[in-house]
Amino acid sequence: MIDSVVVKNAVRKVIAGIVGLIVAIILLCALLITSFYLLVQASIQALTPLVGNTPAMAIVGGSCALVLVLFFLALMAPMSSSKSSSKRKKTAGGRSALSVDGVRAIIREHPMESAMTAFAVGVVQQTDPKLRSVLLQGGFELMKHQDLGPGAGQGEPPV
């Protein structure tokens, strides 16, 4: 049975990690917004002697709108065929080879799942090595099932 002190410590670590992540995201967003504002103001100040105040604001506003449109177009662009058709190599037993290159490829293909698995392993790393191995195995299985596509693996139980 799990000791309540261990559970309390794990919950505290998870809460501290979540609060730290939220604070870091808020600070990064504030820095990003402030730096963007200062960049726009510096651009206006640099263009004002050349073209005047109103045209400088129009030029900077138009360039910001253009950058924003290009950013959203890049987000909505379809995924390239090289990323969607890349498959991991299989060994003779039918299981994927987990070499260093294989793990790097998995991390490149599934960055969010890798980050979540790494976070979960980091939380329980010092307490239970069996739970760590189960989390790693589950993370790799989750990534494999996403590679197979929707509906794949429904007939077979998880390992």
Digit-by-digit pLDDT tens for the chain (159 residues) are 567 888 888 889 999 999 999 999 999 999 999 999 999 999 999 999 999 999 999 999 999 999 989 988 888 877 665 554 444 444 444 445 567 777 778 778 887 777 777 776 666 665 666 766 776 777 677 667 666 655 554 555 554
Residues near 90 by Cβ (< 8 Å), separated by ≥ 6?
A: 96, 97
Q: What is the pLDDT of residue 85?
A: 47
The answer to whether residues 13 and 123 touch, using CB atoms and an 8 Å cutoff, is: yes
CA separation for the pair 159, 139 (Å, rounded): 11
Q: What is the pLDDT of residue 35?
A: 92
Q: What is the pLDDT of residue 108?
A: 83
Q: What is the pLDDT of residue 31?
A: 93
Model's pTM, two decimal places? Answer: 0.41
The answer to whether residues 39 and 46 touch, using CB atoms and an 8 Å cutoff, is: no
Closest CA to 112 of 149, 89, 142, 78: 142
Closest CA to 106 of 62, 65, 143: 143
Classify the C-alpha dihedral 144-146-147-150 as positive or negative: positive
CA separation for the pair 141, 159 (Å, rounded): 8
Q: What is the pLDDT of residue 25?
A: 93
Q: What is the pLDDT of residue 138?
A: 72
